[in-house]
Structure 1
Amino acid sequence: MSGSTSGLVLIDKPQSWTSHDAVARTRRLAGTRKVGHAGTLDPMATGLLILGINSSTRLLTFVVGLDKEYFATIRLGSATTTDDAEGEEVTRASAETVAALAPEAVAAGIAALTGAISQQPSAVSAIKVDGVRAYARVRAGEAVDLPSRPVTVSAFELVGSTPVDGFLDLTVRVECSSGTYVRALARDLGAGLGVGGHLTSLRRTRIGPFRIEEACPLDQLDVASALIGPAAAATRILGRLDLTEQQAIDLGHGKRIDVDAGQNLSQAGPVAAIAPDGRLIGLVEFRGTQAKSLINFPPDETPDEAPDEAPDAAAAGAVDGDA
């Protein structure tokens, strides 16, 4: 594949691979170092990871903040240092206590963690504390107490429950805002029920408009065939403004353009500006009846070509899923 090709690639990340591993493999396959990702997944987690190639790394900023969907397994009856199965167990409830959990109590606990909530992120996370990631401080033996922050859990549904060796495993579906820690939901649900809880599996199935069904397993990835071109990707994320030839030229030169009254001029945030030939000219925002360029894509770029420097997209993401 040409190193100048640009676009987004949807990966189905396997367990035990880090998001950095996925980026490194894609760099080799794509023939370019200009690859970034939007929102990491823990090695334990599987599922949807969105990568940007070349100039389309500029779009990752707008992917990071999209809402996400996960399917997860929460084990009630045991709490760990990391709020997931990779940590050391710190508390365990008796099998009798776990068996006595009423379905109504579990449902009430889930309901209490649904909607607009305040959540304390897991200490073992990628959040930076004075420039150092929290997980690095924890591994160095420091006590890390991260402040709570507002998140939105728009759906927290119990799909099924299974008693396992004195524990109760819950299969759940979660839809949540960016920055939500599914591990923390498991921890808080178990704490609220008085038995402890942690995450034993996590699979991300959606990021904004992108679904896992569109993703390619990492070991089968062919970047050229998997690529979503910059115009198509930006349109799905941000919406679309169709340009005339002259408007495309003017925007490419940094000029403001007049916008037809039929466009939705009230849309907040950027919109993808698309030339008549299907090329992504850039991202614009509306100012009254005009559109102003926020980010331009290279003027010599074809719908799937554009060299550019990749930003540190990995640093912009949240971990876990962390939504």
Structure 2
Amino acid sequence: MNPTDDAPRTARQRPAPGLRRPTAPDGLVVVDKPAGMTSHDVVARMRRIAGTRKVGHAGTLDPMATGVLVVGVGRATRLLTYVVGADKEYRATVRLGVRTTTDDAEGEVVAVVDASAVTRDDLSAPVVALTGRIEQVPSSVSAIKVDGQRAYARVRAGEDVALAARPVTVSRFDVHEVRRAGEGDGPVPAGVVDVDVTVVCSSGTYVRALARDLGAALGVGGHLTALRRTRVGGYDLAGARTLDELLAWPEDVPLEVLPLADAARATFPVRELTAQEAAALSYGKRIAADPDPDEPGAATAGTSTGGAAAGGAAPDRVAAGGPVAAISPDGTLVALLERRGEHAAPVLVFAPA
């Protein structure tokens, strides 16, 4: 049993003796993760709330981070592999003048430099250099595997770990407030500057590595002191529920989830099927591909914003060339499709014959 399963619960949260929570329907739940919990901790609690062990999440958040954690229940866990690849939006605070072992506030301080001379204008060039398609070296304490073992485990064992740079895309890196963080009293050294930013980036981007590299470019060092994920693909904080709200869900009522079709519409491009196409896909067969939308006069697949269910986000945030959600005339998610030449082939079938 996972240790988190032994966490104490109030009488209101404890199921009555001999009773089991009703199993939630297949779908997604957007959780506003609190600080101090791992993503796995959230999943462990969601298994109890949803009345099933078939629960997973799309994209880990560090314990210090808060915000959008997309949780799949039942068959919706099959969507998570593709949701993970969607772009993400964060609000963050970068502290200039202090370097840490982990590039965030959870690590040990290794250097302190007076950054009080740094101005907003000084930030412009480094921020531009860290925007667009860049080569990023992940933090050495990331979860990336090195020879079959997590990098952070090797670091904790005393090894020096140097990870290779990898291509990522930072489509937005907006600087907001720039302020003095401390005057030398308490835990904040004098001369430290805090910078509030918004980052929109591809999957696999480390915001704490952006903080590290911004500080390095300015010659003062830097690390991340706050991180809040505000969106994953088409799922944002407007459609999120706190863990306390979910724990208070009535014991005898199945958890309310975002249904499969609505969940798919929120993040994936959509193809509205004919009845014949839906039947073919239910047997795992290919169907004719939609015309290329870049061809003159070509029609495009039907789309829907799914706004009410997912906070109004647009359904175009999966990677270009990624899967398309195939929706039957009765509104059922039949499959996820990928184009293969003149055909569209199902990569996942949700409504088999």
User: Which TM-score band applies after superposition, normalised by the shorter structure?
Assistant: 0.7 to 0.9
Distance 1:188 1:230, change over 3 A: same
**1:198 counterpart = 2:223:** yes
218-227 vs 150-159, greater mean Cα deviation: 218-227
Query: 1:253 Cα shift?
Result: 1.6
Q: Deviations over 1:270-310 (max 9, x none)?
A: 2222222221111123445543222111438xxxxxxxxxx
Q: 1:249 aligns with which of 279, 285, 304?
A: 279
> Following the alignment from structure 2 to structure 1, what is the Cα–Cα distance between the partners of residues 75 and 345?
20
Query: 1:259 Cα shift?
Result: 6.2
Q: Deviations over 1:213-272 (max 9, x none)?
A: 11101111149565111111122222222223333222212233346777537x943222
**1:126-137 alignment runs, 5 A limit:** 126-137=143-154
Which residue number in structure 2 is paired with residue 317 of structure 1? none
210-219 vs 244-253, greater mean Cα deviation: 244-253
Query: 1:90 Cα shift?
Result: 0.3
Q: 2:329 aligns with which of 276, 294, 309?
A: 276
Query: 1:155 Cα shift?
Result: 1.1
**Residues 240 and 274 in structure 1, CA contact (< 8 A), matched pair in contact too:** yes
Give the length in aligned residue pairs: 296
**Residues 31 and 70 in structure 2, CA contact (< 8 A), matched pair in contact too:** yes
SS in 2 for 1:160: strand
**1:116 counterpart = 2:133:** yes
**1:227 counterpart = 2:257:** yes
Which residue number in structure 1 is paired with residue 205 of structure 2? 180
Distance 1:73 1:224, change over 3 A: farther
Distance 1:168 1:218, change over 3 A: same
Which residue number in structure 2 is paired with residue 237 of structure 1? 267
> Following the alignment from structure 1 to structure 2, what is the Cα–Cα distance between the partners of residues 245 and 26?
36
Query: 1:112 Cα shift?
Result: 2.0
> Following the alignment from structure 2 to structure 1, what is the Cα–Cα distance between the partners of residues 116 and 31?
39
Query: 1:63 Cα shift?
Result: 0.8
SS in 2 for 1:122: coil
**1:139-218 alignment runs, 5 A limit:** 139-165=156-182, 166=190, 167-218=192-243
SS in 1 for 2:280: helix
> Following the alignment from structure 1 to structure 2, what is the Cα–Cα distance between the partners of residues 130 and 271?
34
Q: 1:51 aligns with which of 67, 71, 75?
A: 71
Distance 1:72 1:250, change over 3 A: same
SS in 2 for 1:99: coil
**Residues 8 and 52 in structure 1, CA contact (< 8 A), matched pair in contact too:** yes
278-287 vs 85-94, greater mean Cα deviation: 278-287
**Residues 10 and 226 in structure 1, CA contact (< 8 A), matched pair in contact too:** no
Distance 1:33 1:225, change over 3 A: closer
* Amino acid paired to 1:264: T
**1:264 counterpart = 2:317:** no
> Following the alignment from structure 2 to structure 1, what is the Cα–Cα distance between the partners of residues 346 and 171?
33
> Following the alignment from structure 1 to structure 2, what is the Cα–Cα distance between the partners of residues 194 and 121?
19
> Following the alignment from structure 1 to structure 2, what is the Cα–Cα distance between the partners of residues 175 and 72?
11
* Amino acid paired to 1:122: S
* Amino acid paired to 1:153: V
Which residue number in structure 1 is paired with residue 295 of structure 2? none
Distance 1:93 1:29, change over 3 A: same
Q: TM-score, normalised by structure 1?
A: 0.85
> Following the alignment from structure 1 to structure 2, what is the Cα–Cα distance between the partners of residues 285 and 115?
27
Which residue number in structure 2 is paired with residue 3 of structure 1? 23
Q: Which has the higher contact order (CA 8 A, sep 6+)?
A: 1
> Following the alignment from structure 1 to structure 2, what is the Cα–Cα distance between the partners of residues 268 and 83?
33
SS in 1 for 2:284: coil
* Amino acid paired to 1:38: A
Which residue number in structure 1 is paired with residue 187 of structure 2? none
Distance 1:201 1:269, change over 3 A: closer
Superposed CA RMSD: 2.1
Query: 1:109 Cα shift?
Result: 2.1
Structure 2: unaligned runs, 5 residues or longer: 1-20, 183-189, 292-297, 302-319
Distance 1:113 1:224, change over 3 A: farther
> Following the alignment from structure 2 to structure 1, what is the Cα–Cα distance between the partners of residues 112 and 289?
62
